[in-house]
Amino acid sequence: MEAEMARIFHDTDAPLEPIKDKKIAVVGYGNQGRAWAQNLRDSGVDVLVGTVADDSRKAAATDGFEAHDVADAVREADVVCLLIPDEVMDEAVASHIKDALRPGAAICFASGYAVAYGEVGLPNDVDVVLVAPRMIGVGVRDSYVDGTGFIAFTGVERDATGNAWPLVLGLARALGATRRGSVEMTCAQEATIDLFVEQGIAPALQKVWRDAAMVLLEAGIPLEAILAEFYLSGEIERTYRAMREMGATKQWRLHSQTSQYGTASRAERYEDLDTAPRMRKAIEEITSGAFAEEWAAERSAGYPRFNALRQKEGQDA
């Protein structure tokens, strides 16, 4: 099935004027919230921070921002950017945000999960938009400072005012998300691809690395050398960076002919790996809402399975 081409927005598509006279509240001052607030401020936008009275509020004040209780920040704002974890989003919106929103305000999500699968009940007279960086918080800030920008998914979930698109594009530009390109997505699409990478691809890669380590150990390769080759050397990371910058095939020229021949001639041995059915199962669980229901039940029960899985993987619960 041929996919439709998505719209991709750049700086030329996203003037800053629609947000220049807006007061923007950044709710949450963790890794993403701090980066968003600083990028917006450096783009000339009027920013205040809403957070609970903890170290994050102190950090926001130290960084030179007005720092308020969440509801107070929302009341002052024309645009509210939610940079809080998905698992607390519904409660935070219901308790601190929904009733404080101004009529005609806009609320921006950095992840589509809560809108697609949560129960965020928002007034009908507010715009609901999405700017979802494909980058961790420190990268959002660093790429803004160095001028490269970052890729993001951007969309309008509800255009109550008729001005949601100019506003979200201006917001994306002020963040640095239109320098490299911002792809139009719905909240459901963003949540689907995000969860799919985590559930459909990451587990498969973990299995590949474990099997590879086992086979190399059986062949007499020291564990220390395996760890150095797979992780510590950074060679694989650099190869993926070259794929990003040059393309999967063109980056071959960076490797020896022995490497190129070995990869190309052995690739067909893996063509019969039956990964697609498992990936389709992951997509089905995501898009049907089954995973969201499972995760909500897990949270309500106090995370028994999650804690057991983390202990199994050697993490602190």
Considering only CA atoms, which of 146, 163, 161 is closest in space to residue 19?
Answer: 163
pLDDT in tens, 133-144: 999 999 999 999
- Average per-residue pLDDT for the chain: 92
Q: Which CATH class is domain 8-185?
A: alpha beta
270-311 pLDDT, tens digit per residue, is: 888 889 999 999 999 999 999 999 999 999 999 999 999 988
Share of the chain above pLDDT 90, in %: 72
* 42-82 per-position pLDDT tens digit: 999 999 999 987 889 999 999 999 899 999 999 999 999 99
- The rounded distance, in Å, linking the Cα atoms of 161 and 163 is 5
Cα pseudo-dihedral 65, 143, 19, 64, rounded to 10? 10
How far apart (Å, rounded) are the C-alpha atoms in residues 46 and 40? 8
Whether residue 1 has pLDDT greater than 60: no
- E-state strands within the chain: 8-9, 23-27, 46-50, 66-68, 79-82, 106-109, 127-133, 152-158, 182-184
| Interval 8-14 mean pLDDT | 96
Contact 141, 29 (CB under 8 A): no
Strands (E), 118-227: 127-133, 152-158, 182-184
Residue-range domain boundaries for the chain: 8-185, 190-312
